[in-house]
Amino acid sequence: MTVPVPPDSPSYSRRPGVLRCVVMIVAAAVVSCFCLQRAADSWIPSAAHVFPSFDYGGSPSSDSEEYSLERVLKDASMQDNSVILTTLNEAWAAPNSVIDLFLESFRIGEQTRYLLNHLVIVSLDGKAFSRCLAVHSHCFALVTEGIDFSREAYFMTPDYLKMMWRRIDFLRSVLEMGYNFLFTDADVMWFRDPFPHFHPDADFQIACDHFRGRSDDIENRPNGGFKFVRSNNRSIEFYSKLHDLRIMLEDWKRFLSSPPSLESYGWTVPQNCSLDSLRLDVNNQSPQG
């Protein structure tokens, strides 16, 4: 699934068949409401500025200049400022575990070995960072104070959701620093080089668990475990809105848990959000005949 650039872009006219599309329901909700601003920065520290260090004993300091995000991204980037990113925590960092299979797939795939030079492993805890330093060249320690991401987080559990919000904030910071990224889960095996297959004029391209044959079909089911995003004003704004969505979700949870006498004070964001206008926009952009 791809999200092309808008019609006023010069590249759009060269690809009239590529249309804007909805890539995930949460993004659609944000675009439809268009109501939340960067106030969300008070909820989660910006990953571009706050990367707490940790002490895991014996290994180089994760907050040293050698392992700063700017340095790691610069060292790993391709000529077009693209990097490959994956995350790792202690649960998947043990020897002969998922991370070893992940790295081995690059080595044995068809013309994929060189991509290891552009892969950054983002470690979520101290043991994962130490393990990364032992097996790979480009490692970054992303640690959130007060939250332990070392354990395996199962889909849609509270720990999983906290990890996803942190990841969204981090990916936004990568875009703000001017880097395109291909994010991949560590359980994706890299047997072929995907870069030649990306649309050159798309801002956001994502894998789908269920693809209905058209990139603009809102019934496609995107999977955030593999996506390529180009850094520009549109993609940065997109990730900012995803990040800001947390305000609305937290507000909604407080509203639902409030007694009836306080409900009128508990819901502070717009109450008439709808996907209807977005569906209409997509239909109007569909090719005729």
The token pair that represents 199 in the structure block: 């649309």
Rg (CA), the chain: 20
pLDDT in tens, 22-56: 333 334 333 333 333 333 333 333 433 334 444 44
Q: What is the pLDDT of residue 109?
A: 97
Q: What is the pLDDT of residue 256?
A: 67
pLDDT over 90, % of the chain: 40
Tell me the whole-structure pTM to 2 decimals.
0.66
Task: Enter the CATH code of domain 2-252.
Answer: 3.90.550
Instruction: Give the separation between CA 245 and CA 270, rounded to whole angstroms.
Output: 12
Taking the CB of residue 124, how many other CB atoms lie within 10 A of it?
27
Which residue, among 197, 243, 182, 195, has the nearest Cα to 39 in the 3D structure?
A: 243
Instruction: Give the separation between CA 124 and CA 202, rounded to whole angstroms.
Output: 30
Contact call for residues 267 and 283 (beta carbons, < 8 A) = no
Q: Give 142-150 contacts, CB < 8 A, sequence gap 24+.
A: 142/47, 142/51, 142/87, 142/166, 142/170, 143/51, 143/52, 143/53, 143/54, 143/62, 144/52, 145/52, 149/89, 149/124, 149/125, 150/89, 150/90, 150/91, 150/124, 150/125
pLDDT in tens, 211-221: 888 888 888 98
pLDDT in tens, 135-169: 999 999 987 665 554 555 444 455 555 666 777 88
